[in-house]
């Protein structure tokens, strides 16, 4: 079975050992998959898809697009829910706490703090 695992791994400048460690795999297992000696199971294909932020179809050469519309929509819904939760927490802060939070975030981003 032909996959894009090696191409995706090299794009991220990862060694087989580093990727295997991130995915809780044995490096030799990953090597066999990249060489076409072994086939990744469905769970690993899903893990790779999430790790590289591409569709499973892209990993398996079933599509040329890295992401499909359904995956983009699912990601958008996930992030929207997370952002709504953050906004809800922020709105519960006092004005002083909100300013402190704003200053913290600006500092983390290396931005000039506004008065």
Q: What is the pLDDT of residues 41-95, one digit of tens each?
A: 999 999 999 899 888 888 998 888 887 666 666 767 777 888 888 899 999 999 9
Give pLDDT, residue 83: 85
Fold of 5-59: 434 Repressor (Amino-terminal Domain) (1.10.260)
* pTM of the full structure: 0.57
Backbone angles phi, psi at 89, to 5 degrees: -65, -45
The DSSP secondary structure of 37-78, one letter per residue, reads SS---HHHHHHHHHHHT--HHHHTTS-SSSS-HHHHHHHHHH
Residue 1 has pLDDT above 70, yes or no: no
- Domain ranges for the chain, please list them: 5-59, 69-108
Give pLDDT, residue 81: 83
């Amino acid at each position: 079975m032909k996959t894009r695992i090696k191409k995706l791994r090299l794009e991220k400048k990862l060694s087989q050992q580093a990727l295997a460690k991130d995915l809780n795999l044995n490096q030799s297992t990953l090597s066999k998959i990249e060489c076409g000696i072994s086939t990744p199971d469905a769970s690993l294909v899903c893990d790779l898809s999430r790790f590289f932020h591409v569709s499973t179809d892209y990993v398996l050469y079933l599509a040329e697009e890295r992401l499909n519309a359904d995956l983009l929509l699912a990601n958008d819904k996930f992030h929207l829910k997370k952002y709504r939760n953050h906004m809800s927490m922020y709105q519960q802060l006092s004005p002083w706490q909100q300013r402190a939070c704003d200053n913290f975030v600006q500092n983390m981003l290396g931005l000039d703090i506004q008065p």
